[in-house]
Structure 1
Amino acid sequence: MLNLAQPDPTQHPPRSVRTRLGGFCHLPRLLDKARAFAAGKNGGYHYNCPLDRNFFDFTGIDHEALLAEVKKGGSDTEILTWVRAHTSRSKAEIHAWTEWLDQHGPGGVGGHEWIAETVKAAAGDRDDIRSFADLLDLDDYVSYGGKG
């Protein structure tokens, strides 16, 4: 049975980057990866990857501090309360950052080429993959048996 309180990315992907918690996109995915990392079941997913660091840079939260909080076993709501207590970001700033991250894509030729090659391998006929969030959703789906 699937237990979302104890994510196991060796069995199913973490939540989408687009899933929001307290207005923050990516936070639910970050928590899934942190919980899996703490349990030694992170599979191919990496806690404190570049996308995670976008969250940490934006909020000013240290990744080790969040991981320590996650290891206490709190719910998403409890950890959201902790996050809010450890960042000075306003609701408007969180909203703007979330919209940016949801649409953020590669800025240079190398990044565009990498996304193009990744999409070509997973779903060559797709022409709607433009952001990193789009790419991660596609990759998660295909990695667990979906057809792109």
Structure 2
Amino acid sequence: MNTQISEAIIHWPHVAPLLQPAHTEEEYKALVEALDAVLDAGGADESHPMARLADYLGDLVAEWEARDPMPEGAPPLEVLRFLMAQYGLKQVDLTEIGSQGVVSEVLHGKRNLNLRQARALAERFGVSAQMFL
């Protein structure tokens, strides 16, 4: 095995997480940070060895940013499900709404969000509370 491959194998556990598509806002931010670092390290120059990595990371960032936008005027439940998908959240993560039973009822359309819940979700996601009412 040549030295280059040996080095790649040793460092792969540290590199691999940076080369995967983002599924959460945190992963997206990490990709942007990695892209910025690669560009600063010379990847902005097309003749630099890091240019291909910059292109790849740029594609991953663009993929996240091109996700389907939330439909204008969508019903509150659809808005909540959309945001949950975008942030990679599960029912258990929605502590702003209340207990698991309450969250389940909301997500199954058996219960509407109240003003307190809508405000808490709006703060969490950085959107207007009106979107949940």
Query: Normalising TM by the smaller chain, what interval?
Result: under 0.3
Q: TM-score, normalised by structure 1?
A: 0.25
Higher relative contact order (CA 8 A, sep 6+): 1
Q: TM-score, normalised by structure 2?
A: 0.26
